[in-house]
Amino acid sequence: MRILITGGAGFIGSAVVRMAIAKGHTIFNIDKLTYAANLENLKDISDHQNYSFLQTDICDAKRLNDVFDSFKPDAVLHLAAESHVDRSIDGPDAFIQTNIIGTYTLLTAARNHYENLPIERKNEFRFHHVSTDEVYGDLDIDDPPFEEITAYDPSSPYSASKAASDHLVRAWGHTYGLPILITNCSNNYGPCQFPEKLIPVVILKALHEKPIPVYGSGDNIRDWIYVDDHADALLTVLEKGTVGSTYNIGGNNERTNLELVQAICELMDAKFPNRKDSYKDLITFVTDRPGHDRRYAINASKIKTELGWTPSIGGNDGFEKTIDWYLNNEAWWKPLLQSEMVGKRLGTQAS
């Protein structure tokens, strides 16, 4: 397929681009290149004959229309989004602009492209919107996991903006007949994740022997999925999913934040024994963030039953692979820690 991917220089987006190229698709990647994007994530395929890149904002309607006119995609895989909850609490404006206005602008351009396609290409066109499990809100410990029919109840400016974008995509499918797909995924981790996210924070704090912050008492529960599994699921849905459907994607790897941090510390103890005692001694409990959801959990039976997809990496295997990547790729993350904005935010600014 000829796939237009938005946000393809980000953490998840770059994993999708790399995998899509490996599967033989032709990719046009558009990315604004905000703080969390990094073209280094794509250096191995940047010169590939089936890959093109344009730095642009999904809120720029003219540039989007130009891309659709020139590239003529068979599908859109929409990953571009502001995605960090803490940042959304500090400054929600960017989340409203990118996640809601940007998605609307992209939908408008995609609809115009779709309506002018010949009938045989119309039947094959897809608009796949990538969302999050956070739109469903909070779960108690004994509640059943989120299903595709779970009512939306977002808690943060981030999740509210993603919920709004999901509603827009469904409306464009229902009202204008745009052939849409939506996926809602649990927490991702793996190589190339921006260092302000939890797992890179733990790894890099440990490497610098600095306090490892854990919100509240660490009893918040998340389901974790390795990023390459998510990328594979997204391409599976794009290729096989039923138009108009939503698919939840999960890693079947639910644990508390404290359990996760302790597991990473134990793996670090084995791989990088740089302390007399365990890295777990660096764990420091900090004031919880406002409106912190207690638990997210995914029922991913629909994608398994309908499309035959399940995650391939579970337990601590993905965490071990991720630690290895950060230990072996200091040249990727060190410049990010040295940047004033990120260094101050993480408290790990290198000397």
What pLDDT is stored for residue 202 in this prediction? 96
- Active-site residue, from 31, 57, 82, 133: 133
- Active-site residue, from 51, 158, 189, 296: 158
Assign residue 286 a region (left: φ > 0; alpha: ψ between -120 and 50; beta: otherwise). beta
Is 51 labeled as catalytic in the residue annotation? no
Give the separation between CA 201 and CA 346, rounded to whole angstroms: 8
What pLDDT is stored for residue 321 in this prediction? 97
Helix (H), strand (E), coil (C) string for 144-182: CCECCCCCCCCCCHHHHHHHHHHHHHHHHHHHHCCCEEE
Q: What domain count does the chain have?
A: 1
Give the separation between CA 189 and CA 215, rounded to whole angstroms: 18
Query: Which parts of the chain have pLDDT scores under 50?
Result: 340, 348-351
Is 133 labeled as catalytic in the residue annotation? yes
Whether 258 maps to a domain, the answer reads no
Whether 304 maps to a domain, the answer reads yes
What pLDDT is stored for residue 285 in this prediction? 96
What pLDDT is stored for residue 347 in this prediction? 54
What pLDDT is stored for residue 147 in this prediction? 97
What pLDDT is stored for residue 338 in this prediction? 80
- Active-site residue, from 31, 57, 134, 223: 134
C-alpha closest to that of 13 among 166, 280, 194, 248: 194
β strands within the chain, DSSP E = 2-6, 26-31, 51-55, 75-78, 126-132, 180-185, 187-189, 212-215, 221-226, 246-249, 254-256, 283-286
Whether 81 maps to a domain, the answer reads yes
- Cβ–Cβ < 8 Å for 67, 54: yes
Whether 76 maps to a domain, the answer reads yes
Whether 277 maps to a domain, the answer reads no
CATH assignment at residue 173: 3.40.50.720
- DSSP state, 298? B
Whether 329 maps to a domain, the answer reads no
194 C-beta neighbours (distance < 10 Å), count: 18
Whether 333 maps to a domain, the answer reads no
Counting DSSP H helices and E strands in the chain, the numbers are 14, 12
Give the structural domain span for 231: 2-189+226-253+295-313
Which residues have a Cβ under 8 Å from the Cβ of 351 and sit 6 or more positions away? none
Whether 16 maps to a domain, the answer reads yes
What pLDDT is stored for residue 339 in this prediction? 72
